[in-house]
Amino acid sequence: MAIRVLVVEDSGFFRRRIIAMLESDSCLEVVGEASNGLEAVVQAGRLEPDVITMDIEMPIMDGITAVRKIMASRPTSILMFSMLTTEGARATLEALEAGAVDFIPKRFAEVTSHPEELSRQLCSRVAALGKNSNPSTRSASRSAVAVNPALASTIPISARAPISKRRQQYQLIVIAASTGGPAALPLVLNKLPVTLPVPLLIVQHMPANFTPAFALRLDQQCAINIKHAEDGDLLQPGRALLAPGGKQMTVEGRGHEKVVRIQDGDSALNYKPSADIMFSSVAQLYRGQVLSIILTGMGADGREGARLLKQGGATVWAQNKESSVIYGMPGAVAKANLTDEILDLESIGPSLAQVFH
């Protein structure tokens, strides 16, 4: 059965091109279109699509407001079209907090100069969301954080919350995420105390001009300090470093200290930043003293890095399928039998805090 898609875009030209791209894939069926947020809300209720592509800036009702209304009435997987500007990054992050699950850059030039590449990206994203997403579960857990981050502290620790090792055996936490990560990461990080005794490194697949705004947003939401990583930053207890988009982040020793290195890396690599590359560098330095966590995301980035970590005696947790937007990355690690624990998203933060209590 084809995945049913609603296209929401105020530009008639861009809307027609999006529809043509989606209809080029036999797995996708465009069931409706809308030119503003209000039409989108009505069409979403009437047509009940599997996936909605949504512009942000529209007349009558903007895309962020439309996302909130749709997620409140009938949770649906929503893919945002985002302008690659600082303001566009902030608006996109707000849309993700409101309930959207993923975003794709909106480049008008690509529509005429590289339509095949844009079409490939668009169809693969929509197909993955239509086949694998779980919007109703995601909406319920996300809404509590979006309304009031402090409410997250009321979520009970899972009955099987793991304490795989004593806290003194861990010297570092590493987290990897992709699709669904911008909403999942706050749910994990805002459970951690300001007194967290170890450093934390984060890889989130995200464009270069989005990661500074995302790091700032996380820092405002969480007790621990969260910084957009720069080359030479020291790993310090109670501080998380977010890998810059478009770069590779690794760790190296400098005497008794550890610092991150931010480099361009191999242009042929699919992911910049890459969890595999970051995990691999950590495995060499820390061996079994690492607690690694793989959250929701497309693809299998993190699996081979997790394999190296496990070989050194490190611990690997993965988010479960039921709470993942896309069960690609955590599913790949679980399928490879590399996980020590598979946890619901709402249990990961409390379980992590319990380890370092």
**Which residues are known to be catalytic?**
178, 205, 301
Query: Angle at Cα 55 formed by Cα 51 and Cα 58, nearest 5°?
Result: 135
Q: Facing residues of 259 across strands? A: 234, 252
* Whole-number Å distance between alpha carbons of 278 and 202: 9
The CA radius of gyration of the chain, in Å to the nearest whole number, is: 20
* Residue 240, helix vs strand vs coil: strand
* Residue 355, helix vs strand vs coil: helix
Distance (Å) of CA 117 to CA 109, 123, 126, 131, 341: 12, 10, 14, 21, 37
Closest CA to 291 of 174, 193, 196: 174
The answer to whether 82 and 92 have CB atoms below 8 angstroms apart is: yes
Closest CA to 291 of 205, 160, 162, 171: 171
User: What is the token pair recorded at 83?
Assistant: 């302008």
